[in-house]
């Protein structure tokens, strides 16, 4: 990943966040629905956490976007607990999709894979790196995470390698997205309690930490992509 590509990813991330905020600002119904759901989760303790995790896992299986769920976890539970919840639920959903791709839909997934060249390189990378290769795949931005769950199941990747690699690999981007939600919680508190609630230095520190996390995720993704390209090259 070149510096130009990294800047492009950063711009895309900023644009996505801006679009999300604009959509929430222009859609009171959507904003109210999200607020009601988050209030319900917050009010029901462990049951709310289970429901939030179940929805996130189901989104992975159904190939649906789960960005708002991740941000909601950060909003309610902070970076550490929110990351733990989303990492666990994402891994659970990914494992369910893996098992479906390996058993129930294996024939269909194999036919889909046969129509592309990507599975050959993917299989070489995974065979060479095991769980490490799975983790690296998960760290690449814009990599088709949800469809790859079915593909890796059909390719016969060992379940142990798949689970370990998935859990480790989803952490970097999850931390970034959860941190956005945690900052949104700080902003909501400031708006509710007044601007004296937090000093400017605290906001600056939050912004710096978020940029640091995002930059670290990009560096990890760059390294992951390079390693995978090296292992995917056919032997001479």
Residue 179 contacts residue 213 (beta carbons within 8 Å): yes
pLDDT band at residue 52, thresholds of 50, 70 and 90? Answer: very high
Domain coverage including residue 124: 3-232
* Cα–Cα distance measured from residue 87 to residue 37, given in angstroms and rounded to the nearest whole number: 20
Give CA–CA dist 32/2, Å, rounded: 41
Q: Give the pair of three-digit tokens for residue 161.
A: 């390698």
SS3 of 54-104: the string is HHHHHHHHCCCCCHHHHHHHHHHHHHHHHHHHHHHHHHHHHHHHHHHHHHH
**pLDDT tens, residue by residue, 80-124:** 999 999 999 999 999 999 999 999 999 988 888 777 766 556 666
Q: Is 105 helix (H, G, I), strand (E, B) or coil?
A: coil
Predicted confidence (pLDDT) per residue in 144-185, tens digit? 788 889 988 988 889 999 999 999 989 988 988 898 888 777
Is the separation of the CB atoms in 95 and 162 below 8 Å? yes
* Alpha carbon distance 105, 93 (integer Å): 16
| Count of structural domains within the chain | 1
Residue 161's pLDDT is 92
Output 97 or 219, whichever has higher pLDDT. Answer: 97
């Amino acid at each position: 990943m070149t510096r130009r590509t990294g800047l492009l990813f950063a711009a895309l991330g900023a644009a996505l966040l801006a679009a999300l905020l604009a959509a929430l600002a222009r859609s009171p119904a959507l904003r109210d629905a999200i607020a009601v759901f988050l209030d319900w989760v917050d009010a029901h303790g462990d049951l709310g956490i289970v429901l939030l995790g179940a929805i996130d896992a189901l989104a992975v299986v159904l190939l649906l976007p789960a960005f708002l769920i991740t941000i909601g976890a950060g909003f309610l539970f902070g970076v550490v607990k929110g990351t733990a919840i989303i990492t666990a639920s994402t891994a659970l959903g990914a494992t369910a999709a893996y098992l479906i791709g390996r058993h129930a839909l294996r024939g269909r997934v194999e036919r889909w894979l046969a129509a592309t060249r990507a599975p050959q390189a993917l299989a070489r990378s995974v065979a060479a790196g095991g769980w490490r290769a799975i983790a690296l795949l998960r760290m690449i931005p814009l990599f088709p995470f949800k469809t790859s769950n079915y593909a890796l199941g059909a390719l016969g990747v060992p379940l142990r390698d798949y689970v370990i690699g998935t859990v480790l690999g989803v952490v970097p981007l999850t931390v970034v997205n959860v941190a956005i939600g945690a900052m949104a919680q700080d902003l909501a508190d400031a708006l509710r309690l007044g601007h004296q609630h937090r000093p400017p230095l605290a906001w600056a520190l939050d912004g710096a930490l978020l940029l640091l996390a995002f930059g670290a995720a990009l560096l990890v993704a760059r390294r992951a992509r390079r390693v995978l390209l090296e292992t995917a090259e056919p032997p001479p």
